Amino acid sequence: MKVNDSLPDQHSIDEALKPIRSGMKIFVHGAAATPSPLLEALARRRDLENVTLYHLHTEGAMPCISPERINNFRSVSFFCGPALREPIQLGIADYIPVFLSDIPQLFTSGQIQLDAALLQLSPVDSHGYCSLGTSVDAARAAADTAPILIAEINSRMPRSHGNTTVEFKKLTTHIKTDRALPQHKVETPSDVQICIAEQVAELIEDGCCLQAGIGSIPDSVLVRLKSKSDLGIHTELMTDKMVELIQSGAVTNRLKGSFHGKSITSFVNGTRKMFDFLHDNPSIELHPSNCTNDTALIRKNDKMIAINSAIQIDLTGQVCADSLGHRIYSGIGGQMDFMRGAALSQGGKAIIALLSTAAKGTQSRIALGLTAGAGVVTTRGHIQWVVTEFGAVNLHGKSIRERGAELIQLAHPDFRGELKQSWQSLRHYVI
């Protein structure tokens, strides 16, 4: 008899959520693995009070979070998405600034004692195991520590390799669905973004190992690497353009110092192309973020390249990447994990790539000082390469005076004069 033949029938969605009680701390699976049907049903529970939901970025609306439900539910986010920016600003949701590499330990150490986890899993296999599918990040630790596991088993969730398995018999309750995963289509880059990408690509040579974030600039960089050879992938996020790079033959992973021969990530995001490529593909492994983002493992890959973005950078090299002033926009994520890992790698490069302006060209992203309330994600002690459409500079080992002079040249010409005058007035530098 196959294991699948002996599985109990699924629960109704209301039955599946019966184990949830007031006062519980609950982990919610994120990104493409967000269990939206479970969240929608949870929001209908008017009997619950003081339930805390811990999660990274979740797709779609958060129906539990509103001023009217503040006594019922509270979101605590490790990485803020669009649906939670306003609730966090209004004080009805919370944000924890933390490295992505450190989040699993919050659960495994008991600092945050989870009572339950809401997961979205792939169908159970013949051996009685599901997989965490598209997102392992902090979900691995949650699945291992939460005493109550409530799962949406989605027939369209890809089965991923790596540290991803969840034994079906450990599930407290489950529902079955057959729904498409949320997709993020690749955006067409602007001419300015292409210019930045071309300069970043020039810093990458054969045999490099890559980490890149989401967005038009990193996507455009990856497109320009298909003529390279023996590239590796060790990242926290895998996207469609990484799939294309692998399919081009440029990625072999044969020179990697950790996870030799494998493309490594903690979660994936993109379109069905990404999800189909991931399904039952042993060349790609998903691991928890305390593994993928471990600086000690990242640095083992020679010529490690970390490509990350910024909201703002000041003339000393401090990088804000998670907030617009006091307003939380995203999160710390894994930027510092990979910036440091790449910097310590033999021949590695840590790169911040950004447009020189924001707000349709009316604001300079390169500033005399960060906006009041802005959070420093990459410190001026960790900064290396900075790239805009006006050039690329390596700030490592440079003085404050030298940094200011070089960063001003990366600013848009409309703002260089003002920056230079303010810099000279503040620091009494002649540049």
Short-list 255, 88, 265, CA closest to 161: 265
3-state secondary structure of 123: coil
Which residues touch 373 (CB under 8 Å, ≥6 apart)? Answer: 323, 325, 326, 327
User: Tokens standing for 275?
Assistant: 């999800």
Alpha-carbon distance of 422 to 404, in angstroms, equals 11
Q: What is the three-class DSSP state of 193?
A: helix
Type of residue found at 26: I
- The DSSP 8-state label assigned to residue 10 in this structure reads P
**Residues in CB range of 387: below 8 A, 6 or more apart:** 196, 199, 200, 203, 351, 352, 353, 354, 410
Q: Pick the catalytic residue from 59, 236, 244, 285.
A: 236
236 is an active site residue: yes
Please state, in angstroms and rounded to a whole number, the distance separating the CA atoms of residues 14 and 209: 46
Region label for 355, one of left (φ > 0), alpha (ψ between -120 and 50) or beta (otherwise): beta
**Cβ neighbours around 193 below 10 Å, total:** 21
CA 296 vs CA 300, 338, 401: distances in Å: 7, 10, 32
Point out the residues that are catalytic.
236
